[in-house]
Structure 1
Amino acid sequence: MNKKILILAVGIVLTFSVYGQKANINTKPYPYSNPIIKHMYTADAAPHVMPDGRVWMVTSVDSDNGGGYSTMHCYHTFSSADMVNWIDHGEVLNVWDVLGAKEEPEGEDWALWAPDMAYYEGKYYLYFPVRIVHTENGYEEGKRKVTSYIAVAVSNSPDQKFKVINPKIEGTRGIDPAVFIDDDGEKYLYFGSHWGAKLADNMKELASDPVKMDVDDKNFMEAIWMNKRDGKYYVSYHAHYGKPVDPDNPDDPKRMKSLLDYGISANPLGPFKHVGTMNYELGVNVNDGPKYPGRNYVPWRLTQSNHGGIVEYHGKEYLFYHTSALSSWRQDEFKAEGNWTQRSVCVDEIKYNPDGTIVPVQQTVSGVEKVTIDQPFEIVLYEGKKELNENKPIKYEKIDLGTGYYYFGLKASQVTKPVKVEIRLDAPNGQLIGTLIIKGNGDCETMLRNANGVHDVYLTVNDNFKEKVVFNAPRFFAGSPKKVKQ
């Protein structure tokens, strides 16, 4: 036998042995709606509504050929106009783009794990962890030496290649970055073992020293995500867990569970009070799916991995997470659990109790209902020029924001220095739904939160604003999805 073929064959056998992995030999169509991406393995979804009114997510990619987490080398973006039908926009970043070479340095094994993506001032920013295993000590957990930090890349469009603009954000460490833009315009980056810091306006470096947030030190493991609802900050994360799952006792109370837990705070950097569980282990209470042979649970109940991303879209909130359901199907037609390092993104709805606590998500194989949107893409509030004045908030009466508008913009002129414009509902000091920072002449825009229903809309400026700014064409937009090229 050819020596190269022999080495390759041995490598494949070792890979299958180490990760308990089987070949993806089943080519029949996957029979359910969840996972939402069925032609490849995707994980760690980060969803956001972008200025085109569509939900976009960037995902990690698990290799079809196996090899585990060390073979995660690229990111794809996907978008949807209805939460059901998703378009794959292809690879947007690869480990070779980060390395600037086609091979790894001697003694190093590079991987790209869970990312996040944000839109700011006309650009799209991709935050991702660079994870390097220094192979002199091997890969065994507890012995391996690992370096990890956060980097950032930029693109003009989420369906185009991203270019690395900072290969290592100073002050960052660890994995799983999450970016969050607050209603007051402040930007935050979260990463590693519950670290958080403000992001600079250039989006490529920190604007404050990182702080280690008070977030459930006993259970917090990884996969931090920030969400805001009704003025409260919800931090969610993957909790520490025990393995393996016993097929005869998967709910063993003595084993720590692979959960998505969450805490609530009045501040984006905490402290956060642990509240409960947002998402149970994979496959828990999935009653409408296939059964593991001889058991009353779905096959992927025996795998562990949990990573959440949350988005609100036209009146409902959705949890993006991943399971090994597709792997179970492609390997064994649901006769075994699949491979927990070949994951696939699922989506189910998040519901809340009256007190703001989260009802643990009901995982399904049927997925969510199709979202139908019947309203214009944009609402122009006024045609003509107006002047911003600290003493005279500008009021627009009874604006119908329908099921939601996600961005606000205008065209400014005669700008001599930056000014913050608050967008509020029903009163000059009413609910803040976004803050527009006008830095110069021309078009400017900002994201919004809770911009729905019929309201009087007020534009107000900060008290120390003494300059003159003229603007026209104020508008709400991204209220319905645009079509994109496939």
Structure 2
Amino acid sequence: MISYNRKLISILAWASFSAVGGVCQNTTTPASPKPLVTDLYTADPSAHVFNGKIYIYPSHDIEANVPQDDEGGHFDMRDYHVYSMDKIDGKVTDHGVALDIKDVPWAGRQMWAPDAAYKNDTYYLYFPVKDKQDVFRIGVATSKSPTGPFKAEPAPIPGSFSIDPAVFTDTDGTTYMYFGGIWGGQLQRWHTGEYNASLKTDLGKDNEPALSAKVVRMSNDMLTFAEPVRDVQILDKNGKPLLAGDHDRRFFEGAWMHKYQGRYYFSYSTGDTHFLAYATSDSPYGPFTYQGTFMEPVTGWTTHHSIIEFKGRWYIFYHDVERSGKTHLRNIKVWELKRKPDGSLELIKP
């Protein structure tokens, strides 16, 4: 989550640009997609293909009547639903509540963006939630069905922290988790390796390397980390780390990993500037070389996405606030993701 005042300035600036025709050209599709879910507010959609069908694991926005603040206190989500689609333009089925905060023994509040994975004949739901000391940890719950219900482990993953878990299984069967989010996501509070509640933001350090997302290999049972957590280093074309003040390019939150023709594509949200950007590497650990923006700002406060291949075509799942106009009541959408012959991602202008 990010500074509301800073984000509002970004939204207003983008709206002014849009009003004069700046975002209406060269889009990858001719019209804006419609919300996939209209009876609930949903956001942060993590999409996966299991058994030839698309399953979506979003967060569930609610009107909790919590005052808005810079750390996202008004995003007070309490459960997860799972959705499925047989085809991109087909019916979206709601499979009901897959996990509720009351069924997570160690949880305190705020169930934010989840992800899912399949291995060992088991489906795993990974979720960030604040513990009873108000510190974000990452939990895991299991099910024999991709739609749940999921049963949470009695404690968070040892050594886990911050938000936005994204789980990627490579072609060799090795699974990695990417995670982290600045400000409300508390990543900056772990900068020294120990939790420091006084570190509210990472501002004032514009000339230092930006805070990094994290990556870690998962254990074979998918319930713990198999190694110490590493930084996801993002470099510019000259091999220098992106700086904290480089708000149009630096990592902020919402990591995702996909692989295309042997290359690893690490994509993420720039947070307070509201772009989706990506960087590539020959290794799932990186370092990653920044390649550019592939999606310009949507309406709303946050940007959080996932990317999948389905029946030979690539798609991006994301959210905006078309239905409510409120930053904490969002709706998920899907759009085709296209590539240039060299594998680079074409720019989407929603």
What TM-score do the two structures reach when normalised by structure 1? 0.53
Q: Which amino acid aligns with 1:82?
A: K
Alignment partners' CA distance in 1, 2:291 and 2:343: 10
Are 2:222 and 1:203 aligned? yes
Are 2:329 and 1:313 aligned? no
Alignment partners' CA distance in 2, 1:209 and 1:66: 39
Superposition deviation, residue 167 in structure 1: 2.4
Superposition deviation, residue 69 in structure 1: 3.8
Question: Residues 92-139 of structure 1, C-alpha deviation per residue, up to 9 Å, x if partnerless?
Answer: 011111137xxx8xxxx51110000011121100001122586xxxxx
Are 2:229 and 1:213 aligned? no
Alignment partners' CA distance in 1, 2:96 and 2:65: 20
Alignment partners' CA distance in 1, 2:127 and 2:213: 16
Residue 230 of structure 1 is matched in structure 2 by 261
Alignment partners' CA distance in 1, 2:132 and 2:275: 26
Task: Pick which of 125-134 and 184-193 moved more.
Answer: 125-134
Q: Which amino acid aligns with 1:277?
A: T
* Structural mapping, 1:41-56, within 5 Å: 41-51=41-51, 53-56=52-55
Question: Does the aligned pair in 2 maintain the 1:172–1:191 contact within 8 Å?
Answer: no
Are 2:163 and 1:180 aligned? no
Number of equivalences? 270
Q: 1:258 to 1:33 in 2, by over 3 A?
A: closer
Are 2:333 and 1:346 aligned? yes
Q: Which amino acid aligns with 1:304?
A: W
Superposition deviation, residue 33 in structure 1: 5.2
Larger Rg: 1
Are 2:347 and 1:355 aligned? no
Q: Which amino acid aligns with 1:235?
A: F
Q: Which runs of 5+ in 2 are unaligned?
A: 1-7, 9-31, 67-72, 181-211, 235-241, 245-249
Superposition deviation, residue 148 in structure 1: 1.1
* Structural mapping, 1:26-45, within 5 Å: 34-45=34-45
Q: 1:169 to 1:349 in 2, by over 3 A?
A: same
Secondary structure at 1:352's aligned position in 2? coil
Superposition deviation, residue 70 in structure 1: 3.9
Cα RMSD (Å): 2.0
Q: Which amino acid aligns with 2:177?
A: L
Q: Which has the higher contact order (CA 8 A, sep 6+)?
A: 2
Secondary structure at 1:96's aligned position in 2? helix
Are 2:147 and 1:147 aligned? no
Question: Does the aligned pair in 2 maintain the 1:128–1:151 contact within 8 Å?
Answer: yes
Question: Does the aligned pair in 2 maintain the 1:198–1:208 contact within 8 Å?
Answer: yes
Superposition deviation, residue 231 in structure 1: 0.5
Q: 1:77 aligns with which of 67, 76, 82?
A: 82
* Structural mapping, 1:25-174, within 5 Å: 34-51=34-51, 53-64=52-63, 66-67=65-66, 69-84=74-89, 85-99=91-105, 110-132=109-131, 146-165=134-153, 167-174=155-162
Q: Which runs of 5+ in 1 are unaligned?
A: 1-18, 20-31, 135-145, 242-256, 283-299, 328-337, 364-486
Alignment partners' CA distance in 1, 2:87 and 2:349: 20
Question: Does the aligned pair in 2 maintain the 1:44–1:114 contact within 8 Å?
Answer: yes
Q: Which amino acid aligns with 1:237?
A: Y
Q: Which amino acid aligns with 2:153?
A: I
Question: Does the aligned pair in 2 maintain the 1:281–1:304 contact within 8 Å?
Answer: no
Question: Does the aligned pair in 2 maintain the 1:153–1:166 contact within 8 Å?
Answer: no
Q: Which amino acid aligns with 1:308?
A: H
What TM-score do the two structures reach when normalised by structure 2? 0.73
Question: Does the aligned pair in 2 maintain the 1:194–1:224 contact within 8 Å?
Answer: yes
Question: Does the aligned pair in 2 maintain the 1:213–1:270 contact within 8 Å?
Answer: yes
Residue 294 of structure 2 is matched in structure 1 by 278
Secondary structure at 2:103's aligned position in 1? helix
